[in-house]
Structure 1
Amino acid sequence: MIKLPDATLHRLNTEVLEAGGWLPFGGMFDMIEEWPASLPTKIGVYVFLIGGNEPITYPVGESSIVYFGKAEQQRGVRGRVSQHRGTIMRGSRGRWPGHAAHEWLMARGGFCMYSLAPDHDPFTSAWVERELIHAFQRLHRTRPVGNGTAA
């Protein structure tokens, strides 16, 4: 289990979330072993971190971050993360690989954290997701493996 959130995550909390008036990522739970009853149905963004003791080696540095996502639908963070979790819990499908973030989480386990949109500006989760990915890319010279590669 990850004892402390990823160092990159600390930096993104400050540079993107807090700078935009959002709370830092919180509410960490195990994607396989837990399903928190209190997972909110509000709009927000979320991050998946792989489990284990070894982070992913990126072109510049390492990080446990595997994916950033946004939750804008009716059931918010709870609904969107639930969709991902269902796919992960069902496992891989035959010889075809699935979503890269799901494959990493199926192989190594992992965690989810989320940040809810401020009440005064709930429609910016797509912008915040893009900014998180861009900031990650500036730090590691690529996007998180689950968000595709930067060609």
Structure 2
Amino acid sequence: MDETWILVRCICGNSFGSRKASFSSCPRCGSSKGKTQKEFESSERLAEAVAASNLPTQIKQEVETRVASEESRRAAVQEKTRGGPEAIRRIMRQSTSDDGILTLEGLSTELEKEGHVEPSAEQVIGQAEMEGILVRSGPDSWSWL
């Protein structure tokens, strides 16, 4: 059963979390005169919201800046690895038929599905031929070595 969690802001200014079904009193002052600010589906999200709500403004801005910077850095790293050699090799294997034949059309389709514009299927196959991974077995088909 999924529980709903709430972020509560007390009249003393403290924020705390509680289950929606059982509203609790403020852990700082003991008051039960809090106001529900937001609902969450997971206790983890609630914990993050409580922590953020209780931070002083200057520190909150600094933390948000650092978090945004870290998320941006991680996204850049993930973007680089998304099209890396391991990902391309995985896509090549997914494009290979049960009898071990890789076709230009199949690889193009799979690259497109994965959202890869560069390198093209022709470039991938050309590089794999130069590296000795594939050998041409027909007009638009290759076999793995």
Normalization by structure 1: what TM-score? Answer: 0.24
Indicate the structure with greater helix content: 2
Normalization by structure 2: what TM-score? Answer: 0.24
| Greater Rg by CA | 2
